Structure 1
């Protein structure tokens, strides 16, 4: 077998320095992340909310962006970035096409992983859990909150299906807009029949804090039949 062609960028030599062990790092926290930080019911929700608020304050681009991992019917995993649109004791919510690649994967294997990569703050949060569709009224309420242009795009798109070119995609969107009175019109655009929300019922939550010399902090909460177990993981 031929050796792989060397990439012009020396990826192996790339290094990112995280906060020193005894001083505040980029996350602005001198204290080490500790299992005691996970409190409440569920124990992940309060800390996640605080970290999300701090990511917003730090002007992290798209702070509610998360990497969603699913497993297709073939058994192959896939990831993509999706926007989180809800976080509560019930779980983490996002919206997409039910017949998209991720929707078909979730229909076959109703479990997902979610990762919020706030690397600029030396933080990540990772969730796992069973996935279910949200109630229709939840989807409707969120749909009505979306900008009209986003509604037109979602209604126009057969998500994850091939299309000839950009011009055809824009033409489909233009026809949708015309059908409902134009981009600036006021005729309501209905929720597409195969579009809606999912909620991930979190049973695994892990918080990561970058530390010096890659001796990072990881704490997790795992839900079992007797409630939540909270502990520290080695990096």
Structure 2
């Protein structure tokens, strides 16, 4: 598989704090890649750097072989690279189906999306994706009335509306009722296989990420600690000491 995302020596500082220190990793087209590490290890900061939410201090982010380090969020999203967040970004006072008509992220803020009415093709896709995530019967309810797990599913469906090539998911199972997690995992795998979306997933639930990802990278103190197959990472003593052993 060809490289879709190639992060080369990315460093990001916030004042005197080095959040990412010469991080290098890659995501291959068609795979599900995982990113793990203790709290404060720089995972979410790295995601923000990749999608253009803040400028990096050193290194480069290559997407489809092109350096996107200096591009804005909306420019990167239009190329097929987008993300979800730890906390859902939905319009709670808007019906579920209307949330599906959200367009690209706002160029200035990178958080609040622009709203536009969908054409017939987009309307059909919105309904298909709501069926895909199991929310079609709730399409006319206010999004804020959904459970937290259902809101996560809605955000996932919203992200798929833009037909991304690469979707970055920041802790997709966090806060979800354990009984719903298996269904979410199944939908992530189906999006990868059936819709052709490459996934890069931050996840603290080790059972989830070990059963979901083809390859996993572990960060600690802003640096890459280990990378490999789930079995290789699970058995790496450095990972056990830095992360898994601390659970």
Q: In which range does the TM-score fall when normalised by the shorter chain?
A: under 0.3
Larger Rg, first or second structure (1 or 2): 1
What TM-score do you get using the length of structure 2 for normalisation? Answer: 0.21
What TM-score do you get using the length of structure 1 for normalisation? Answer: 0.21
